[in-house]
Amino acid sequence: MLKNNFFHPKYFHTWILVFLMRLSVFLPFSAQVFLGKIIGKFLYSIMSELRKVAYTNISNCFPEKRQAQVITTVKRHFEAVGISFFETANAYYASDKKIKKTLTIENEHFFTNSLKKEGGIILLCSHFMPLMLGSRALLIKHKIANVYRPQNNKLFDQIMVNGYQKNGAVMIKNTDTRTIVKALSNSLPIWYAPDQDLGMKNSIFAPLFGIQAATASATARFAKNNNTRVIPYSFVRTDQGYKMTFQEPLDNYPSGDALNDAKRTNQILEKQILKTPEQYLWIHRRFKTRPEDESSLYPDN
How do residues 265-295 score in pLDDT, each as one tens digit?
A: 999 999 999 999 999 999 999 999 999 989 9
- pLDDT band of residue 190 (cuts 50, 70, 90) is very high
Please determine, for residue 118, whether its predicted confidence score (pLDDT) is greater than 50.
yes
Please determine, for residue 1, whether its predicted confidence score (pLDDT) is greater than 60.
no
Least confident of 61-70, 136-145, 193-202: 193-202
Please determine, for residue 4, whether its predicted confidence score (pLDDT) is greater than 70.
no
Single out the residue of 79, 98, 78, 100 nearest to residue 25, CA to CA.
98
SS3 92: helix
Residue ranges per structural domain of the chain: 9-279
Please determine, for residue 299, whether its predicted confidence score (pLDDT) is greater than 90.
no
Mean pLDDT of the chain: 94
What's the CA gap between 163 and 113, in Å, rounded? 28
How do residues 93-114 score in pLDDT, each as one tens digit?
A: 999 999 999 999 999 999 999 9
Please determine, for residue 2, whether its predicted confidence score (pLDDT) is greater than 50.
no
pTM of the predicted protein model: 0.94
Q: Assign 3-class secondary structure to 187-215.
A: CCCEEECCCCCCCCCCEEEEEECCEEEEE
HSE (CB half, 13 Å, CA atoms) of 140? Answer: 21
Instruction: Determine if the peptide bond prior to 254 is cis (ω within 30°).
Output: yes
- pLDDT band of residue 9 (cuts 50, 70, 90) is confident
Residues with Cβ within 8 Å of 238's Cβ and at least 6 positions away in sequence, in order, are: 104
